């Protein structure tokens, strides 16, 4: 069964600290994996895409990694800011469907 599991469910960190969000996927055939950011009251927006051949990709303070052998991806946020408070959703196409993780809710406190 195609599925995407994320951890932790929620996370509270202090402004300026780093954090890492995890995504385990079981999707076949695998083509790519995206991380979306969803601010409160808004629709999700794509942060980055990871394809099978990519190990690491950065988008500003966001760095995504992909380990195709263990079927794991992570999103690392460096020097967090208050504006990073959001839900982060891991997403993978699974055949004709799109498989969404349940998301990690990140709270950045001053």
Q: In the bound complex, what is the minimum distance in angstroms from residue 36's beta carbon to other proteins?
A: 8
List contacts with other proteins (CB under 8 A).
31-32, 34, 41-46, 49, 89, 91, 93, 97-98, 100-103
Q: In the bound complex, what is the minimum distance in angstroms from residue 62's beta carbon to other proteins?
A: 16
Answer whether 50's CB lies under 8 Å from 73's CB: yes
Answer whether 65's CB lies under 8 Å from 76's CB: yes
Q: In the bound complex, what is the minimum distance in angstroms from residue 73's beta carbon to other proteins?
A: 15
DSSP-assigned beta bridge partners for residue 86: 106
């Amino acid at each position: 069964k195609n599925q995407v599991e994320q951890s932790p469910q929620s996370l509270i960190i202090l402004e300026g600290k780093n954090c890492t969000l995890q995504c385990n996927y079981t999707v076949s055939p695998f083509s790519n994996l995206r991380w979306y950011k969803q601010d409160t009251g808004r629709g999700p927006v794509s942060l980055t895409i990871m394809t099978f051949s990519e190990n690491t990709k950065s988008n500003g303070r966001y760095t995504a990694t992909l380990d195709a052998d263990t079927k794991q991806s992570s999103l690392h946020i460096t020097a967090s800011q208050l504006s990073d408070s959001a839900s982060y959703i891991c997403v993978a196409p699974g055949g004709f469907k799109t498989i969404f993780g349940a998301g990690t809710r990140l709270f950045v406190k001053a």
